[in-house]
Amino acid sequence: MPALFAAIVLHDVSLAWRRRGSILSSLLFFVIASSLFPLAIGPDPQQLRALAPGILWVAALLASMLSLARLFAQEHADGSLDQLLLSPHPLALLVLAKICAHWVTSGLPLLLLTPLLAQQYGLPVSSALLLSASLLIGTPVLSLIGGVGAALTLGLRGGAVLLCVLVLPLCVPVLIFGAGAGAAADAGLDAMPQLSLLGACLALSLFLCPIATAAGLRISME
Which one, 42 or 222, has the nearer CB to another protein? 222
Q: How far is the CB of 154 from another protein (least distance, A)?
A: 13
**DSSP string across 126-167:** HHHHHHHHHHHHHHHHHHHHHHHHHHHTTT-TTHHHHHHHHH
Which one, 71 or 174, has the nearer CB to another protein? 71
Q: How far is the CB of 221 from another protein (least distance, A)?
A: 5
Q: How far is the CB of 161 from another protein (least distance, A)?
A: 22
Which one, 80 or 196, has the nearer CB to another protein? 80
Which one, 49 or 98, has the nearer CB to another protein? 98
Which one, 11 or 207, has the nearer CB to another protein? 11
Instruction: Give, in degrees to the nearest 5, the angle at Cα 97 between 170 and 25.
Output: 65
- Contacts with another protein by CB under 8 A lie at 4, 7-8, 11, 15, 18-19, 74-75, 77-80, 82-91, 94, 214, 218, 221-222
Q: How far is the CB of 5 from another protein (least distance, A)?
A: 10
Length of the chain: 222
Q: How far is CA 91 from the centre of its chain?
A: 21
Cα 208 from Cα 148, distance rounded (Å): 10
Q: What share of the chain is helix, strand, coil (3-state, %, to 5)?
A: 85, 0, 15
Q: How far is the CB of 86 from another protein (least distance, A)?
A: 5
State the sign of the Cα–Cα–Cα–Cα dihedral 75, 80, 86, 90.
negative
